[in-house]
Chain A
Amino acid sequence: MRRSAQVRAPGIGQAIAEYGPAVLLVALVFAAWEAATAVWKIQAWLLPAPSAIAKAAVDARGLLGPHLAQTVVETLVGFGAALAVGLLLALLIDLSATLRRALYPLLVISQTIPIIAVAPLLVIWFGYGLLPKVIVVGLVCFFPIVVGTADGLRSTDPDLIALLQSMGATRRQVFFKVRVPASLPGMFTGIKVAITYSVVGAIIGEWVGASRGLGVFMLRATNSFRTDWVFATIAVVSALSLALFLAVVGIERLALPWFYTKAREETWEEM
């Protein structure tokens, strides 16, 4: 009857089984790419070899640094704003059915607006500073957060709520002790989607008018046929997005240990 309360920690063997195939595939693609550029002598401004891109990234690190810092600031401030606004909107939507009916269509419509068309207008209205980039990142990020959190709040098991009411709980107690914790997995799902988009949002914001940032650097590299720098920047953008995503996953694991606790089951294998 007694079962272990321990959650199985993933071993190294499991990690290899989990990520090995993807790592192998990426390595193969890079090797083929490297070989192709050497065999067919493809010119560097058309398609640089991965090794050349790596070298360019190392050489340009002094240049890339300040641009990266700028983009990180824009991304984080924009994402923070999206989080605050997103949670607030989710709360409002949850609070009243009328507000839900009023706000939901507007939120969906806001996502149908092509950001690339709005971004230049934002520059006209707000100038070349931080604000227009923050707005672009915010526009890209807030929607998944609203939807994830609002759905999380709505999907709370009504029987749990009834149980607390039968115990004499107040509305406030029901909200904070049941509905908020129950909504957290949904909220984190929204945040994970949002953070993945956030860096690209900042890059778009920079393209239409900025003096610093990875988007600016990429644009300048393209215009001067430094294709190796373009690829190096793409790699940095990808790495940044991935790092932010992993940070969110890490925070989620720490914040919701219960969500990742599954009943330990013995695995029976044929021998």
Chain B
Amino acid sequence: MSSCPDAPCKLELTGITKWFKVDGVPLKALEDVRLHARAGEFVSIIGPSGCGKSTLFNIICGLLEPDEGQVLLDGQVASRRAGLVGYMPQKDLLLPWRSVLDNVILGPELRGEDLRESRREARELLPLFGLEGFADAYPAVLSGGMKQRAALLRTFLTHREVLLLDEPFGALDALTRMELQEWLLGVWERFRKTILFVTHDVDEAVFLSDRVYVLTPRPGRVRTVIPVPLPRPRARSIIASPEFAALRYQLLEALALR
């Protein structure tokens, strides 16, 4: 029954459909969304605003239930999914009353794991996330890029194999965003997580991903899947290559279809 071509398939959505009532009028937000991500794959979802990307993420991380279809994790139907995937929302959502260190260990803390061990592990990772020396600082003193990296470290420290990143760099300026994209690839290559990444930036999608799902406007459906066979590790210079330009064009075309 699995549509996953070659195992192991980490995450799979089997025809997710979701309705909402807007002012009493039924509205279909998602229609028969099928997608999958293999272990260690970097998969992006791109689509126009209002295509239901965030709804899809809320369904995957267990905040919403689909009307049709299922979420499979490691090939198993995951009915109680809350806490089984790492979710990073658009906003950094750091708790302003907690230090950076106590923010990033929130996942293990909620599961009742040993706090000292979690803090030790978090401290070791702070330099990699560009937060060295800020363990005891409050989020208010961090720059926008640092806040996003702290939120990402919090997501990594949930120790989940599947991470959902919802436009994590959407609110950042272009230079910081570029810097963080390269950095994210480095971190991902090191930890080999399965990442599902929402964006509406075509360059970002091509630069980061192994495959890109293009969603239609409401109701969100998968219009096409575009594989990105660019070699890894990828350096920023790759954006000047003809292959990159061709993929970028292909993606723009897919988005522009009416």
Tell me if A168 is interfacial: C-beta within 8 Å of chain B: yes
Q: Is B87's CB under 8 angstroms from A5's CB?
A: no
Given contacts A256-B97, A258-B97, contact A163 B137 (CB under 8 A): no
Distance of A49 from chain B, by nearest CB (Å):
50
Partner pick for A263 among B62, B130, B141, B158, CB 8 A cutoff:
B141
Q: Quick check: which of B21-29, B106-114, B186-194, B203-211 contacts chain A, the rest being far away?
A: B106-114
Which residues 152-178 of A sit at the B interface, judged by CB distance below 8 A? 157, 159-160, 162-169, 173, 177-178
Q: Is A166's CB under 8 angstroms from B82's CB?
A: yes
Partner pick for B93 among A2, A163, A168, CB 8 A cutoff:
A163
Q: Is A157's CB under 8 angstroms from B136's CB?
A: no
Tell me if A41 is interfacial: C-beta within 8 Å of chain B: no
* 7 residue pairs from A and B, CB less than 8 Å apart: A1-B146, A5-B133, A177-B95, A181-B95, A181-B97, A258-B138, A264-B141
Distance of A35 from chain B, by nearest CB (Å):
49
| Beyond A3-B141, A5-B137, 9 extra complex contacts between A and B, CB < 8 Å | A162-B89, A166-B62, A167-B106, A168-B62, A169-B83, A178-B95, A258-B97, A259-B97, A263-B141
Distance of B173 from chain A, by nearest CB (Å):
12
Distance of B193 from chain A, by nearest CB (Å):
16
List chain B residues, Cβ under 8 A from A163. Answer: 87, 89, 93
Interface residues of A (CB under 8 A from B): 1-5, 7, 157, 159-160, 162-169, 173, 177-178, 181-182, 184, 256-259, 261-264
Q: Is B87's CB under 8 angstroms from A160's CB?
A: no
List chain B residues, Cβ under 8 A from A173. Answer: 110
Closest to B131 in A: A2
Tell me if B231 is interfacial: C-beta within 8 Å of chain A: no
List chain B residues, Cβ under 8 A from A184. Answer: 97
List chain B residues, Cβ under 8 A from A178. Answer: 95
Q: Is B136's CB under 8 angstroms from A5's CB?
A: yes
Q: Is A262's CB under 8 angstroms from B82's CB?
A: no
Closest to B112 in A: A173
1/0 per residue, CB under 8 A from A, across B70-106: the answer is 0000000000001110010101010111100000001
Q: Is A167's CB under 8 angstroms from B97's CB?
A: no
List chain B residues, Cβ under 8 A from A261. Answer: 138, 140-141
Q: Is B82's CB under 8 angstroms from A167's CB?
A: yes
Closest to B96 in A: A258
List chain B residues, Cβ under 8 A from A4. Answer: 141
List chain A residues, Cβ under 8 A from B63. Answer: 162, 165-166
Tell me if B52 is interfacial: C-beta within 8 Å of chain A: no
List chain A residues, Cβ under 8 A from B110. Answer: 164, 167-169, 173, 177
Q: Is B95's CB under 8 angstroms from A167's CB?
A: no
Q: In whole angstroms, how far apart are the Cα atoms of A163 and B88 in the complex?
A: 8
Distance of A259 from chain B, by nearest CB (Å):
8
Given contacts A160-B95, A261-B138, contact A167 B83 (CB under 8 A): yes
List chain A residues, Cβ under 8 A from B62. Answer: 165-166, 168
Tell me if B237 is interfacial: C-beta within 8 Å of chain A: no
Distance of B136 from chain A, by nearest CB (Å):
7
Closest to A163 in B: B93
Q: In whole angstroms, how far apart are the Cα atoms of A4 and B143 in the complex?
A: 11
Distance of B128 from chain A, by nearest CB (Å):
15
List chain B residues, Cβ under 8 A from A263. Answer: 140-142
